[in-house]
Amino acid sequence: MQIAERRAGRDVVLEHIGTAHDGAELAVLMDLARARVRPGQDELDLGIEADAGRGRPGVIMAKSSAVLWEVLTGAYSALGFDTIGDEAFAQLVLARVVEPTSKADSLRVLDELGVAHASLRTMFRSLGRAAAGGYRDQLAGACFAHAATSGDISLVLYDVTTLYFEAEHEDDLRKVGYSKERRVDPQIVVGLLVDRAGFPLEIGCFEGNKAEKHTIVPIITAFAARHAIADMVVVADAGMLSAGNLTELDQAGFSFIVGSRVTKAPIDLASHFGWHGEVFDDGQLIDTLTPKTGANTDNDPRLRAEPVWDPAIHTGSWRAIWAFSRRRYVRDNRTLTAQENRARDVVAGATTARTPRFVTTAGGARGLDETALARARRLTGLKGYVTNIAATVMPATEVIGAYHDLWHVEQSFRMSKTDLAARPIFHHTRDAIEAHLTVVLAALAVARYLQDATGLSIKKIIHTLRPLQEITVRLAGHDHIAADPLTPAAQQILDALDHSPR
């Protein structure tokens, strides 16, 4: 079977498709030839009816999700990760993007994708190379270069999470610590630094019993030293709020924006409460001061006007911004009502749950803490922000907007825990744990790169591209390649990435 063209009275063979020995092979060859003929070009009628029921069919030699793998490897290279030069490590990273699973099961994922891969032993050796060869530093450098050219690194977002282990005993790193999920398994604390769009820049690993607030300074200083950064804004939630942290960041020359605990509102807003009572307008902003430690000596409640923070004058305070939201007020009140009802049930003996908020115990008798409840009601709807950026440099609305960008780092953490399944971790040594987090960092960067470029979630990208198969069929000793046509959704992804399938 050949594809030919008539030129100057002669038949010129353009392509040899293959040789058929029976009707079934001829039918397959004709289908392949039809797919390769240009639109509008006629085909010769050989007078042979395809009969797939007779003779020997063609043999499928290989299948692969070629388009998906091209997109993944293209993103890996575009980020500069290929300069590491470790194919087994790259395969581990990209397999994790497709389907989070164990290192051993990654080979099954690669097999299903039709990717020729290294052996399991080589895969595990690549983790050793990642720890010994400084892969984390190389990846962090490439991530920074990408963010510097396509994003905004003048403002970075920081948050922490915990990753637990399927282990019975603690060691020097894996320790039982505070867990929002109330787990008692050994865990580690992981800090993640991202740009304001959520692209990962740095990841750090700490002992499981280390307080969240003690992780931010080491991560920020290491990041700044690695990239020789002298000035940037660091945004973090209220868990990072400590006098020591803020002082260290300020002394290092960094600006910061952190969430304030609502319990500080009565001190910061003493003037407002004294002159205006507990009345706030929806969307109202109060730009004032908060003491670095202890009582507020820079804000005189006898004065109606709030002071404008000046670092040269108000040496004992930071700038504080408080915002009131009617929507937050309604939500906070609903939460407090639920907590109050739970407390009343415990006091009345209607439930034997552990002691909830607003329940006090005195002389063996339980009672409702009316004072604490009234104080909490008084502060509903308020959200505070602490910064060392003067109002002349960044107005209050921009400070709040920068803080609200923290959802990007929370989204990245959700990806690392769910889409990329960073936990649970089954590694036992620090080097293996650090190597695992290096793989997770690289996979998260690839996923964020693709999401940012296409506007689609990584799950949607995988779901769209993975079914597109490239198949190698052997007919009469010749291998022929056939591929699924691109769907409109797949073409949209490729167009967004400016990628053309090979």
What pLDDT digit, counting tens, does each position of 37-66 carry? 654 555 554 444 444 444 556 677 788 899
Long-range interactions of 269-273: CB distance < 8 A, separation 24+: 269/322, 269/382, 270/296, 270/299, 270/301, 271/299, 271/300, 271/301, 271/303, 271/304, 271/305, 271/306, 272/306
Q: Quick one: pLDDT band at residue 447, thresholds 50, 70, 90?
A: very high
- Is residue 134 scored above 50 in pLDDT? yes
pTM for the predicted model, two decimal places:
0.75
- Residues 14 and 75 occupy one common structural domain: no
Q: Is residue 413 part of a domain?
A: no
Is the residue at 49 inside a domain?
yes
The boundaries of the domain holding residue 49 are 2-57
Residue 111 placed within a domain: yes
- For residues 482 and 144, the model is more confident at 144
Of 57, 80, 97, the residue that ends a domain is: 57
Residue listed under structure tokens 């395809």: 50
Check whether residue 22 and residue 76 sit in a common domain. no
Query: What span, in angstroms and rounded, lies between the C-alpha atoms of 443 and 448?
Result: 9
Say how many domains are in the chain: 3
Question: Per the domain annotation, does 268 fall within a domain?
Answer: no
Q: Identify whether 469 is part of a domain.
A: no
In a domain, 335, yes or no: yes
Average pLDDT of span 425-447: 82
The answer on 71 and 37 residing in a single domain is no
314 in a structural domain: no
38 and 70 share one domain? no
If we measure between CA atoms, which residue out of 200, 204, 201, 199 comes closest to residue 188? 204
Three-state DSSP at 412 gives helix
Q: Contact, 162 vs 423, CB < 8 A?
A: no
Per residue in 217-268, pLDDT tens?
888 888 988 888 878 899 888 877 788 889 988 988 889 999 998 989 999 9
Please provide the average confidence, as pLDDT, over all residues in the chain: 83
